[in-house]
Chains A and B, each alone.
Chain A
Amino acid sequence: MKSLAELQAIREKMKNTMSMRDEDASGIRVVVGMATCGIAAGARPVLNEFAKLVQEKGLSDRVKVSQTGCIGLCQYEPIVEVFEPGREKVTYIKMDAQKAAEVVERHLEAGHVVEKYTMAKSGLK
């Protein structure tokens, strides 16, 4: 190692990997429904897309992506819930990888809920 910049580069590269292991629960939580119904409906690519993009875009220190079991609305799977401290829970339904990318960019990065995919929009409550 001939310079601090080299060290910094490795640190940056590893930072997103390592921040997954923070115990801090104060940030945004993205939860993908991964029960049998969700998986059958294609929840796994959605989960993986979220996990990948959050790390690629360096959001891991404030966004945690995890799964949960059945949310109880099987016909709307894949379902993704976004929990943000101080804001109401947002539930996205019938998700796919492409929609996930849109949610990462517009919601998680820029802070605007992508209304058209939400459960509220579809008239359910």
Chain B
Amino acid sequence: MYRSHVLICGGTGCTSSGSQKVRAALIDEIRKQGLEDEVNVVETGCHGLCEQGPVMVVYPDSTFYAQVKPEDVPEIVTEHLLKGRPVTRLIYNEAVTDEGKVLSLNDTDFYKKQVRVALRNCGVIDPENIEEYIGTGGYQALGKVLTEMTPDQVIQEVLDSGLRGRGGGGFPTGLKWKLCAPNKADQKFVCCNADEGDPGAFMDRSVLEGDPHSVLEAMAIAGYAIGANQGYIYVRAEYPIAVKRLEIAIKQAHEYGLLGEDIFGTGFNFDIGLRLGAGAFVCGEETALMRSIEGKRGEPRPRPPFPAVKGLFDKPTILNNVETYANIPEIINRGAAWFASMGVGKSKGTKVFALGGKITNTGLVEIPMGTPLRTIIEDIGGGCPNGKKFKAVQTGGPSGGCIPASYIDIPVDYDHLAEIGCIIGSGGMIVMDEDNCMVDIAKFFLEFTVDESCGKCTACRIGTRRMLEILEKITSGNGTMEDLDKLEQLAYYVKNNSLCGLGQTAPNPVISTLKFFRDEYIAHIVDKKCPAHVCKSLLQYTIDPAKCKGCTACARQCPVSAISGKVKEPHVIDQSKCIKCGACMATCKFGAISRQ
């Protein structure tokens, strides 16, 4: 019987910042001080504050320590675990008020406005211990479904909840199940999309690392609803911790009879296999994913037939995203009405976002659908660092668009974002400030899609490449106004003539930045200027002879010896040699060097 639990984060973020060393030091120190029968050390998944890692939470006080180093451990053990005095200097700084009062994590700006449904257990339970999941109500929903509900009732409940796919498409989950349920076959499949290919996204990884059983439980529920006995989780091989936790979870679920044969003595059988993806973005597309599970090359195929009719191994199949599944047990336990009470319009429940880029508090945030963008950026995210001006937020990754600062009061949900040509997508949210060039951003995402296009259709393969070439021309200062028109035409051509979602959405970052930041494109073309000073070809570093003291510091810093001049005389930059690294400007103590 422990009097205190110390939760140490074993998610990918904290593991890479050294949480395993901290954990070892903690176990060691607790033993040294003879507290091993009083204090329980638990390894959890991600808390969503990976930037602050390694993260450690002490219960029952719920004290949130951040950036803990092994050297800090003896002090925490002696002072806090033994004597009950939290070590204030190591507590997450948002959780300590100006008066020095320690706040519970739920009262910090970052967490206060969050509502954790999909992430309910992440950072709270030991994902490698099925009993902790059961202790928070886990597998209760599966029990209820199997003993009290018909498959139709389950589907109706999911329909009524208003849950829509969290993988990007936003298709109503209940409807997807309903379309598959009546299709008769000797075998049907339930698949889980854990391919998470959007750059910067890590919500699915966090769910799998922190709460793998919620996904297993939901897949079994889906299996019962549509009449399938076999599930597959398609997970990226680059997620080794998630893979390991899933393997352990599946094994334990078997040992406890929560997967396998005759679950709860009801005669229902369900099994789940893991399939590792090699990381091609296109393999996240549903038909490509199923081919890849079959052991074939992951290439999309035309639909219809839809997977609900002919999916994996040509059998009726449903595919849902990790976060979509993570909501299911809670919907069954707490009811469709509870879930539907959160959100707005046709967007119900909550959504997890990976907040990153130019924002003070980065991390995973789960908020009710329809939360104003301002709340996310200003209250939860704490605004742009260094007093910079908020410019836009990019949502939906390579398939999405930009929301400009003028729309900061927009409710973030499927329909409001669609109105301005944006998507929620899988939940990536990259914040940009005045130092970001929107043409450069569009180019970044297009480079990604050009790399990831599977090459099957010409529009996508050639079209995205042409678009990228035009963007490169513009950012290097050689663009013309005709290029802009051509870019726009191509964008719509690629959109309308591609086979799969990758090509159909690849032009979105371009279309959206053209819509909201056309003047920035024009500045590159007409004025040959990059207003945000990002596009190197359009930059020029110059030394103001009136200000230059001839101290030679810049000349010594320049990696390509582009600066010349005599001591105590004004220096000059040879523009033909300068590679625009900016080192000279950072060096000059007299503010003589400027960038234009």
Contacts and interface: CB of A to CB of B under 8 A. Distances in A.
Interface of A: 1-4, 7, 10-11, 13-15, 17-18, 20-21, 23, 25, 31-36, 39, 44, 47-48, 50-52, 55-56, 64-69
B83 A69 contact: yes
B303 interface: no
A57 to B, nearest CB: 11
B256 interface: yes
Given A47-B3, A68-B84, A69-B84, A23 B38 contact: no
Interface of B: 1-5, 7, 38, 59-62, 82-85, 104-106, 124-125, 131-132, 134-137, 139-140, 143, 147, 256-258, 262-265
Contact of A51 (B1, B136, B147): B1
A32 B82 CA distance: 11
A21 B124 contact: yes
B84 A20 contact: no
B84 A1 contact: no
A66 B106 contact: no
B265 A20 contact: no
A67 B39 CA distance: 13
Given A14-B132, A47-B3, A34 B263 contact: no
A34 B84 contact: yes
13 contacts: A1-B257, A18-B125, A20-B5, A20-B59, A21-B5, A21-B62, A21-B124, A31-B84, A48-B3, A48-B38, A51-B3, A66-B4, A67-B84
Nearest to B146: A4
Contacts of B124: 21
A3 B5 contact: no
Contact of B136 (A18, A39, A44): A18
Contact of A14 (B5, B85, B106, B134): B134
Given A47-B38, A48-B38, A69-B83, 6 more contacts: A13-B131, A17-B5, A20-B5, A23-B106, A31-B84, A35-B85
* 8 closest Cβ pairs, A-B complex: A14-B135, A67-B84, A51-B3, A1-B257, A18-B135, A69-B85, A2-B265, A52-B1
Given A10-B134, A10-B135, A32-B84, A2 B264 contact: yes
Contact of A36 (B83, B131, B136): B83
Contacts of B143: 4, 7
Contacts of A47: 3, 38
